A and B are shown apart, each in its own frame.
Chain A
Amino acid sequence: MPASRTVLRLTNVVKAFPGVIALEGVSFDVVEGEVHALVGENGAGKSTLMAVAAGSTLPDRGTVEIGGHPMADPSPAAAQALGLAVVYQHLSILEDLTVAENMVFAMPPQRRPPMARAAEWTRQQVESIGADIDPAARVNELSTADRQLLEIAKALALDAKVLVLDEPTEALTRVESERLFAQIRAMRERGTAVVYISHRLPEVKGIADRITVLRDGEARGTFDAAGVSEDEILRLIIGRSVEQVFPEKRAAVPDVAPLLEVESLSGGNFHEVGLSVQPGEIVGLAGVEGNGQRELMRAVAGLEQARGEIRLRGDRVALGNPTAARQSGIVYLPGDRHREGILLSLSVRENVSLLALKALSRFGVVRSRREGRTVAEQIERHSIRTPSQETPISSLSGGNQQKVLFARSSLAHPAVLLADEPTRGVDAGARVELYQVLRAAADEGKAVVVLSSDQIELQGLCDRVLVFSRGRVVRTLEGDEITEENITGTAITTVSRHRTEIAARARRLLRLRRFAAGDYLPSIVLAALVLALGAYTTSVNGRFFSDYNLSGAGGGMLLLGSALVFASLGQLIALLSAGIDLSVGPLMGLTVVILSFFATAGQGAGDLTLGILAVIGCGIGVGLANATLIRVFRLAPVIATLASFIVIEGIMLLARPTPAGFYRTGVTDALKTNVGPVPAVFIAAIVVTLACEYLLRRTRVGLELRAVGSDETRAHRLGARVNTTVFGAYVACSLFAVAGGIIVASFVAVGSGDPAGSEPYTLKTISAVVLGGASIFGGRGSFLGAFLGAALIQEIVTASGFLQQTTHPFSDIPTVAVPYWLLGFLILVGAGLYSRARGIRSASLETDTS
């Protein structure tokens, strides 16, 4: 073996976040062909250190060298170019993209396979790590383990000099873990350097050559794995002996009736689980991630549906109802603090008193002074470090935020406290305090249930530990049996078989569901509706499909429809980028107004060319203005485009206070040229739609647009040019609106500043793309769907005119109301069906807002 060369070197890295110093001068190096483990508790700074190495976090001080080259201008792309790849613990997968698209998107240009070969290439990469994942599957269908495996396959495909694995086995079975270790050893043979982050010590001892311990943002030493014992490492990780960190356990087992009894409880992911907790007892739930322990705890809290029985002091608690659980005395401390715990935009006071509002009120009115006093007591008791009660909770450190949640739940005076990962993302000091709070709660006679992925924590804190596997309790550990080895050993050995069973069953179901949840079901439904409405209207009035109605001199249905189609294609681009463009309608009107200065009688082809250039310039300008407000000034897209909506209407009125500038017939006739019975612009609309659909599915540009719309942060971490993409999206959107405006010009044929004609197009385009199946949250949609949505809306409007001329067959209601009712009904039913098919349980519980 040649003399080993250092391929990753971090020197004196310092990084502070608001309220907490994450890294205090850490140095770390990795040589060719070694596996270097980085161990430490949650919050010790491991992930931050690797984020600095990967260029996704800028250090306050310190340098990063990869492959001997200093990273001068840190960014994820720069680190990747120098040869560093990361498998993140918090995954960097884009939910709205397929497996193959995710793989391809993460590759740098020289490693990217052509899109046509993407599926086959992806299959090879995934199989090379022994995984079985369908390249065509959308990522949000995958299990946690499959996502983890996909991340690993992605990083391996980069063939990096340095590979960072952040808790890679968290969700894997033993067999899958073994496969991964074999891969890691093979890479080591090839000379790749691997940084292996984990808190599973036996695993680390088995795979690593060297081990570096981090605690509280400082390196506590680097050791040869062979020459150090697990106990020595453990002592360095927690900084003192286990006895000093954890409060003393309950002395004896008193013979009292259980407080909480769970009897043969079954739910989505757990079966026939029994559990009973006495007052004063802390019971731990353990197991490999995804084996039902979390779902069980959430079911007890009423947050998951379940069958069976839960009793509190002998009284039955209603299942699947968080309010009932809470009122009977069960209080849940959420594991995902940011999502389910804190109310990020509110103050410390509002967060603390949330569960005590009723107790603090009289006749439904909260007594402010009492609230202030109570919150002050809690801040004192839990030693929450905050400048004041009114400080936004977002500016507190993770540990203090967690203490706020502890304070909140203690004000609810629970009988049962369910703590899901109570110390995740909490620094070591605060962690000790939280353990004491949990033990004190038990000593007060509460029943405490703790779920944790940290075996040391379960070992130190719990009186009893239930180990879960395949949704059942496979072992109960008591007293001295509660050791890290016993917990990990039991959990890992029993899970292997069941995952493949579940996977096979799930896959059969998925085929069906994938189509229902896909991007093309809405198109098929819309096409059927277009045909059905056409057939019905023709049956009532035979002239509906006449040449005159389709493309007659007055500007037939297809011509009107083409204008809406073009504008809707634009709107879809804005929506795909996770935005929206309200200014589409007025911009179409402005296009008609501007052209009216260049296309009147007496003006020639040269003037018209000039006019076309003017409207194109105008479209680019509006697009740039919208994107600037959104990206540079950080306005919400709705507000930014609302402002331009109003300004454009003002400009229209300024230019043409009264209708003037009649188009010469040469211009309008040219736009109305027919090919057979079909207007040329309609054929253009079809061609452009198909071209856009191809660009969206099969090219890098389309992939990047969907990636950015799906998750801006992750897309950026994967090297997407977010600003360029969003600017491009709004300019493209405006240009499509201009194209729609040019078509409108052909049948309006006069410049009018009155916005009443163009304004409705905004809502019509939004309706069209939503009917076409686009997601208002970005990342998903289809141009074909937008086309058909626009076609259906135009058909409804035109058909209603035809239906009105005849007596309605069903009753004598004036049919002028029908198109509106039909449209409203379709939007509600369509959107409801799509959201069902995609398994979004409720958009009202969506927290994903920028």
Chain B
Amino acid sequence: MAEAQRAGSRLTATLAGSRFRPSGFFAIWIATGTLFAVSPLFVSGSVDSTALVSMLPFASILAIAAIGQTLVIQQRGLDLSAPGMITLAAILTTKYPNGNADKLPGAVGLVLLACVVTGLVSGIAVTRFGITPLVATLGVNALLLGTVYQITGGTATWSATSGLSSFSVNRTAGIPNTAIVAAVAVLVVAAVMRWTVAGRRFVAVGASPVAARAAGIRVRNYQVATYVVASLAYGGAGILLAGFLRTPNIDAGNSYLLPTIAAVVLGGTSLAGGTGSVIATAMGALFLTQLEQLVLGLGGAESEQLIIQGAIIALGMALRTIPWRLVGSRIVETVDRIGSVLPGTRSAPNGSAELPEGSDQ
């Protein structure tokens, strides 16, 4: 009985104050876990290794691109330049080598250069010229698409080098290489955000640029760096995509704008800036891709898949507006109350009274 009481208090304490925030980045883990758990019930073999191995590259490339979108959204922006950057990266990676493996490193260097320049243009437009991120990246995206047309003349027929293709398609120890790259990239970014001085300041700048400035943080540097790193994420996704598609067309990146945003918001990063989680975003990307595979596996057409995807985004986000913290504390109160009427136990002393009622007022 005493254990039950202690467990109750522990739960109370956990809900009241630890890093565990039920309405935050945790929901997507439950959602994704549930999705994988029920997938076999609908389509047999939908989570066996063949299915997973064919699904993971799509999820991974999306997750890498969505890292960039997460960072920009953490800085209160929305990045519409992702499709242009992904396409440009894919085109640069294929056109210059045109199958010649020796020229691939040069092409990758060119991609990185393009990413840095693009990020600087967006970042400076936002910080120095006071242009809203949405508008600035809308303009930059048009510039990138123009550049793609300029380079290709309207159609792209170049193939990725065989080395790049096989890297994008092959596996290491049974795991697709793209998934390994995505996991490493996501974990590195997450670790930097969480544990380094630069990452913590980045979060502060996103939470309130004016407060960060008053605290002496070089706000503009962090904001410009955000767009540069975001562009590098799109560029990385573009390179892998080029290898995966072998012959990327000039609209290769177009289908990536909305899914990156969807992955971020499903992951739980707030559009109001500040806190965000690239790991949760990666789970969001995994969730979206598996959902797509499941619906297609059910024999559903693309149409049904889109309708379900849209409905899930609306529903998932609407569920987030319920004040789960309060619901959680109610549950704990009930547990405590039940505990207190059981013989030999008393209510946990550190009840949930500290939780402000109606704190969203």
Contacts and interface: CB of A to CB of B under 8 A. Distances in A.
- A and B held together in a complex: yes
Interface of A: 17-19, 301-303, 322-323, 325-327, 332, 334, 339-346, 350, 353-355, 357-358, 361, 364-366, 368, 387-391, 394-395, 408, 629, 633-636, 638-640, 642-654, 657, 753, 763, 766-767, 770, 776-777, 813-814, 816-821, 823-828, 831-832, 835-836, 840-847, 849-850
A357 B274 contact: no
Contact of A345 (B127, B218, B220, B270): B270
| Interface residue range, chain B | 35 or more
Contact of A303 (B143, B214, B273): B214
Contact of A642 (B258, B270, B273, B303): B258
B52 interface: no
Contacts, number: 288
A76 B225 CA distance: 46
Given A18-B361, A357-B197, 4 more contacts: A343-B212, A366-B200, A395-B356, A634-B321
B320 to A, nearest CB: 9
A731 B325 CA distance: 34
20 contacts: A19-B356, A326-B215, A340-B213, A345-B273, A353-B200, A354-B204, A388-B13, A388-B17, A390-B18, A629-B314, A633-B314, A646-B307, A646-B313, A649-B306, A650-B306, A816-B150, A820-B143, A824-B141, A835-B129, A849-B271
A457 B149 CA distance: 67
A718 B79 CA distance: 35
A643 B212 CA distance: 33
A753 B258 CA distance: 18
B305 A650 contact: yes
Contact of B139 (A302, A342, A647, A824): A824
B211 interface: yes
B317 A633 contact: yes
A322 B216 contact: yes
B214 A770 contact: no
Interface of B: 13, 16-19, 76, 78, 80, 125-136, 138-147, 149-150, 153-154, 195-198, 200-201, 203-204, 207-220, 223, 258, 261-262, 265, 270-275, 301-311, 313-314, 317-318, 321, 354-359, 361
Q: Is the interface of A mostly helix, strand, loop or mixed?
A: helix
A842 B224 CA distance: 13
B131 A341 contact: no
A819 to B, nearest CB: 8
B130 A639 contact: no
Contacts of A345: 207, 270, 272-275
B222 to A, nearest CB: 10
A776 B301 contact: no
B138 A770 contact: yes
B204 A346 contact: yes
B139 A828 contact: yes
B306 A653 contact: yes
Nearest to A348: B17
Contacts of A355: 215-216
Contact of B195 (A325, A366, A646, A652): A366
A669 to B, nearest CB: 31
A394 B310 CA distance: 32
B126 A843 contact: yes
B267 to A, nearest CB: 12
A776 B197 CA distance: 33
Nearest to B251: A756
A366 B197 contact: yes
A831 B211 contact: no
A628 B17 CA distance: 33
A18 B357 CA distance: 7
A399 B336 CA distance: 31
Given A644-B310, A646-B313, A849-B273, A842 B127 contact: yes
B71 to A, nearest CB: 14
Given A770-B135, A817-B150, A17 B361 contact: yes
